Amino acid sequence: MRKTAVNIEKLSVYYGETPAITNICMDVEDGEFLGIIGPNGGGKSTLLKSILGLVPITTGSIKIYNEKLGKNKTLFGYVPQFATMDKNFPISCLEVVLTGCIKGGLSPFFRFAKKDRDIAFDQLERVGIKKLANKQIGELSGGEFQKMLIARALAVNPKILFLDEPTASVDASSREQIYDLLEELNKNITIILVTHDLMAISSKVGRLACLNENLVYHGKPELNDNIVNKLYGCPIDLIAHGVPHRVLREHGEEK
């Protein structure tokens, strides 16, 4: 039996008087690839940040490998949304990945050890962009930039990798490369992914969580019309045909 990587019990998060997520109960198993989808403002990023300890919990609890949240943050790596990063900042690809090796904050005259540089180079090679180590981040394509952020998250040797919309600003070829990379990483790492990319989650993830303030659905990555209507609040036509695991059932199939 696999261990529980993330246990969420009756979780609610409010921003002031406004609920972002309410009464979420969910387990993520060790080694799982979980996709989280939902409408804008539905609470996807809030759920992710709650697990990471980046936003305060209003009620409920979160445990990571049966430990209370915040006890061991080296258990996970985090890839934030592309839009939160400043590509004009004068820093190289290698230097960004090295920041993932920092533990306990910076101090005057801080220098990275050789083992840190070795880790950074290894992770750049792992994601396929070692040759770009000395490039400034402003020179990277969208796909290269995302791979760099994944390499930084991997620098802590995490047991869980969290990603927030990792393919939102990349072309189709890069999107496919990133999902192939995540599929390979999932052989050794639990992955929790927030995305709007329904085509990708239908063929890559093992389970799916549908969030619109409440948890509308949690299970296999095949949705029916009823679930999608509850998720988005209105009728939605069939989204994808012809992928290994259909996002929606074919028209006419039993719901």
pTM summary value: 0.85
| Residue 191 phi, psi (nearest 5) | -125, 130
What pLDDT, on a 0 to 100 scale, did the predictor assign at position 204? 79
Q: In what order do the strands lie in the sheet with 190-194?
A: 76-79, 160-164, 190-194, 33-37, 207-212, 214-219
Largest CA distance in the chain: 67
CATH no. of 4-232: 3.40.50.300
CB 21 within 8 A of CB 13: yes
Domain ranges of the chain: 4-232
Beta bridge partners of 21: 13
CB 127 within 8 A of CB 155: no
Per-residue pLDDT of the chain (255 residues; tens, 9 = 90+): 679 999 999 999 999 999 999 999 999 999 999 999 888 888 999 999 999 989 999 999 999 998 887 666 668 899 988 766 778 889 999 999 998 888 766 556 678 889 999 999 999 999 999 999 999 999 999 999 999 999 999 999 999 999 999 988 788 889 889 999 999 999 999 999 998 776 656 677 888 888 989 998 788 877 666 666 666 664 444 444 344 444 444 444 444
Nearest Cα to 182, choosing from 198, 211, 203, 196? 203
DSSP string over 18-70 = EEEEEEEEEEEETT-EEEEE--TTSSHHHHHHHHHTSS--SEEEEEETTEETT
